[in-house]
Each structure stands twice: as C-alpha cells, then as structure tokens.
Structure 1
C-alpha cells in the first residue's frame, strides 16, 4: 500500500484505533493494527497495507498481540473482515447484512461511502491482490488461482486486473514488451515506460540507476528495451508542469495511456487530470467532485497507487488544511512541482 505514509505513521505513533489500515515490520515479519500496544518499530522498517490480505500476500504474518485478522466492532470493519475470511466463495449482501446487523441496502450504501467501492468490488480486488502475491511466491499458476479464491482459471483471467495474463505476471511480466527512456529534469530523473497500448509508467528518482531500478522492480521479467524515441513522452509530461497542456491532446503522446487499476481507481485518476495547473484539491474536495463525498480515504488510496506521475497529477492533492501530505516520489519534489505550476 502506498498512500499518505507520513500521516499513517503519525496515526501509528498515536495508536489511533479508528485508523483503517495495517502496518508491517520488516525485521519481525508481522503486521499489526495501528493501535497495537507493542513497542513502536523504527520508521524505516515499516510498510503500510490497506487490508490483511495485502499484508499476508506480501509475506507477513498476523501479530498475536493485536490480532489484526480478528473481527472489529464497527459495521464496515465487520463487513471487511467477513469478506476477507471468505474469498474462496461469493458473499451476498444478505449475508453481509446478517453479519453487520443491517439491511443489504444499508450494507451496500455505507460500505461504498466508506471504501469507495462496493462489497463485490472489494472482494474482487482482494482476490486479485492475493493472486499477485501467490504468483510471485510460487509461480505455479493453477495453484495460485485457486488459492486466491477464483473458482476457475477463466474467472482469474477476467477479474484479476493484472494488466497481463496470470501466467505472465507469475513470471514477472514475461512476454510483456515495454519500451523505456530516462532523462534528467528539474524534479529529478524521469523514467517512462510504454507498452504498445500506451504510457504505463512514469516515475521520478534521484539518479538514472534508481529510476531504472524502479521500472525493473515493477516488471522484473518483462522484455524491457531502451527506446530513445520515448523522450517525447518525458517532454510531454514536463510540458504539463510548465504550461498545463492536456497530455491527451499532445501529439507527442498520441493520446494513449495504459492505466491499469480498478474502476474506482480509474475514476480517481481521471478526476486528477481535471485539476487545472496551478490549482490544488484536498482529498475530500476531490471525493465531492467525483460525487463520492464519503469516499475520502478511498480517494487517497487511489492517488497513492498512481503509477504515472505528472501525467496523472496526484501531486495536486494536498491536506485539508492546505499542507503538503505524503507523495510517492517525495514531499520535497511535490513542493517543487506545485511551485513550478504556480509561476
């Protein structure tokens, strides 16, 4: 999970029981609730996850002290826990209503308000996350498909949202062809990656080596080929910062983006692209503009999952007070981007 990690760490230090995420400690191999009473780890050893499934898929085990996989008392927490415990079968709204003590209609409404997706979409997302983890750990496609809760290989191909077939993902993107190009910029080293469908990766780094490493970590077995002609994509992205031009209308890009995510994530990323250069939005403002006023946290998570910096300008989202919140590519870089856009 990648979101406002600075704020998440503050909530962990405050032992905030209302925070709905989990943190894992690399040195112990366990994951906990934010309000766990155990001794606080070093910040550098901590990773954050939005669900227990994601944490387990990454190889962490549940803390025996705070029991993060146990049911919680709030309705949405109960619903999430029940869904996470029953990924191997379909869970109906009526069933979730009995678990939470409310009508199926209310279950659907409050869950979508809080999470930004329906219970069914949440289950599909968790199955996809589990499949990714199982494929990376074992590489055995058939076993991973059923371990993830998919009833058949066809359902896995339809619902996993891997951006490629499960077999290809299991092999680190083997068979996927991605051209890439790296170039310096005022905001650090920029690297772009593009499939035949369009731009799929744009990251910012301190050095050329770090930039290339980020791409190879995402697609370790893909056919990566340096393509100097893709420098036009770097130029087009930087032009967005300089003058606010719409990248989709920029001929150097050709209008093609290969964005891979859930329906809700795609909606958020599209909303981000509607924020004018020189302006910012808070997470709650963006949620309201999308017609999802109760989905602030879900919007924040989607912003953090953005793989295409600058083009999908998640740097234009700030805290409710106007303060700079976490940014996947660094808060200092976020500040420089916003300052450049205000000139």
Structure 2
C-alpha cells in the first residue's frame, strides 16, 4: 500500500483550495459519509475533524470507504493512462491526429478528453502535437539536415506552415533558426563568480543564455551557425550587470534585457517565475495554478527545467510542496546559496519580460 508523502496540513490546504494539481497525489476520506474524494471535489467541504487523508483509493477502500460518485477519484489513474496513450499515438503518427480520433482511442468524448489532456500537460492535444513537430524540426536542423527534409520529416505539411509556427518563437527569425542561427551575432563570455564559472551570452535583444560550468561548446550546440563573438565593448556593460545580479540578487535584475522564446505555456511559466519576489519561493503546484493550469504541475516542472537563463528567470525560487529544495540544473549548493542571498532586506518584485 502506498504511503502518503505529504503532511495532513498540506493536504487540507489543497482541499480547501480545491487544487486540481493535487488530484492523484492523495484522496480525502470523509468518515461521516463513508466516501473518499479528489482534493478538487466540488462538494461542500467537510469538517476538518471528520477528514482523513490517504495516498490513494486503495488505502481508503481498505478502511471501508467508497469512491465519491461526483468527482470519481479512481478515474485519476485512468485519465493519466489515457493521456499517456494519446501522447504515444501522437508521437507515432506521421500525420496530425484529429481530437475525435484521439478521444475514440481512449474511450472519452472529445470534449472531456480535451479537458483531461490539457489538465495533465498544460497544452491541448493540437498544441502538444505542434510543439512536438517544432522540437523535431529543431533537432533535425541542429544536426545539419536540409531545411526541406527537416520540415517534412518533422510532420509539417509545407514550408509555409513551418515558418508560420516558428516565426517569433525562438528569439530570432524563423529563417535564422532553420540555418542554425546563421546571420545572428551572439556575444559571450565565461566569467568567474562566487558561485563558480558562469557563461553569459546575448543577442542584440538581450541575454539568451546564462548557466554555470558551461562554455562555448554549449552555445555551438544551440546555435551551430551563429556568429559567436567572445566579449565586445557593448556586451561588457551588459555582462557587468549580469554578474552584479548574481552576486547581489536582492538589488534586482528586471532592468536586464533577456531574449528567450518557448511555447506559449513555457513563456507563461517563465513570466510567473519573474513575479516571485526575492526571498520568497513557490511550489510547482503554485506556478501551475497561477497561470490558470492547476492540473499541469508536471508540465510546469518541465517548463521550469527548460529555462535557458538561470537567475534572471529565477527557476531556483521553485521548491517542492514540502519546502525541500528539489532539483536544480547547476546543483543544489548554488540554488541554496542564491536563496540565502535573496533573503536579505530590500527585495522588490520583478516585472514581466
């Protein structure tokens, strides 16, 4: 039997919020009615003293409780299985799959399946398929494939549809992207900081990469045909601002321009990260709820991990629901130190990019 990984107080808070992001993580047993529910159940809240929390329906049923007929808590696993099956079908198909076809494969109505898929991934099935095609095209182009081959192999019906999808979503024009960044100048440098060697790279729009323990090779992987220029007079001024932001993050860094593009969902997550005040943290569930996708906790975590500009987009301010640090691409010591520095007085809220 699965053990509950959250405290009762955390569970009760999620129930009070009717937080869909916690559906599937535990169930709420109501001893007076003999039923158990999802955290998001729309039924009237029971009294706290009449509630007990279980890791799953199996644990609740073992005590004699039965599933709520209103919120159908045992269907959470079925929903997740349906989404996984749909993702596998989308990946395996050479042609875009209609929503009705995906729903029929999973046994749901089209309308209900659209809601279930979006709640679990943060994207509609159509948007997920488009993002997958874009990712395949990026990978093929980065590996040196011919533009036309990459476009059709990725599942686009033609070059016009490819450019329509890619334009304005990568921090450079679509034509520059399909040529591996050709025609784009990126200034870069690796500088020592108190947190270790830091890579900073910027286009004419702003910082496009900030990371630790990386060098030129990391940029070549992302922009194999870009004009990579080490240093530069104008870049030095920007570089100083970035170093200052890392060494003293409580002074703020909303004035530093950044050049990042992702899916609509990723950009929504990154904007929300920029809103977290220095000295504070949020959970993945908090971020998902804040962007209006409370069920897309995993997708929010993936978007957080896809952040290319550390510190300036403060993904280090996202922690687990239990308050533990969780993961960090550049190691927990750096994350811990950044959070420690930001607890100093004088924090301010950052603007959206």
Change (3 A) 1:121 1:236: same
> What residue number does 2:142 align with?
136
Check if 1:85 corresponds to 2:92: yes
SS at match of 1:200: strand
- Map 1:8-19 onto structure 2 (within 5 A): none
Deviation at 1:90, TM superposition (A): 3.0
Output the CA distance in 1 between the equivalents of 2:161 and 2:171: 15
Output the CA distance in 2 between the equivalents of 1:308 and 1:215: 13
How many residues of Structure 1 are paired with residues of Structure 2 in the alignment?
Answer: 264
Output the CA distance in 2 between the equivalents of 1:315 and 1:219: 25
Deviation at 1:303, TM superposition (A): 0.5
> What residue number does 1:76 align with?
83
- Kept in 1, the 8 Å contact 2:189–2:200? The answer is yes
- Kept in 2, the 8 Å contact 1:116–1:292? The answer is yes
> What residue number does 2:226 align with?
222
Deviation at 1:230, TM superposition (A): 2.4
Check if 1:96 corresponds to 2:97: no
Output the CA distance in 1 between the equivalents of 2:309 and 2:80: 37
Output the CA distance in 2 between the equivalents of 1:191 and 1:101: 49
> What residue number does 2:298 align with?
297
Check if 1:233 corresponds to 2:238: yes
> What residue number does 1:116 align with?
122
Deviation at 1:77, TM superposition (A): 1.1
Change (3 A) 1:102 1:91: same
1:289-335 residue CA offsets vs partner (Å, 9 max, x unmatched):
22211111000000100001111000111112111222112222111
1:77-98 residue CA offsets vs partner (Å, 9 max, x unmatched):
1211121122x43322212211
Output the CA distance in 2 between the equivalents of 1:137 and 1:163: 20
- Kept in 2, the 8 Å contact 1:157–1:165? The answer is no
> What residue number does 2:132 align with?
126
Unpaired stretches in structure 1, ≥5 consecutive residues: 1-17, 19-71
Check if 1:308 corresponds to 2:316: no
Output the CA distance in 1 between the equivalents of 2:164 and 2:137: 13
SS at match of 1:184: strand
SS at match of 2:155: coil
Deviation at 1:239, TM superposition (A): 4.4
- Kept in 1, the 8 Å contact 2:191–2:198? The answer is yes
Single out whichever of 281-290 and 146-155 deviates more from structure 2: 281-290
> What residue number does 1:324 align with?
325
1:21-73 residue CA offsets vs partner (Å, 9 max, x unmatched):
xxxxxxxxxxxxxxxxxxxxxxxxxxxxxxxxxxxxxxxxxxxxxxxxxxx98
Change (3 A) 1:228 1:327: farther
SS at match of 2:143: helix
Unpaired stretches in structure 2, ≥5 consecutive residues: 1-23, 25-78, 345-353
Output the CA distance in 2 between the equivalents of 1:116 and 1:246: 30
SS at match of 1:98: helix
1:74-124 residue CA offsets vs partner (Å, 9 max, x unmatched):
1111211121122x4332221221111111111111111100111111001
- Kept in 1, the 8 Å contact 2:142–2:222? The answer is no
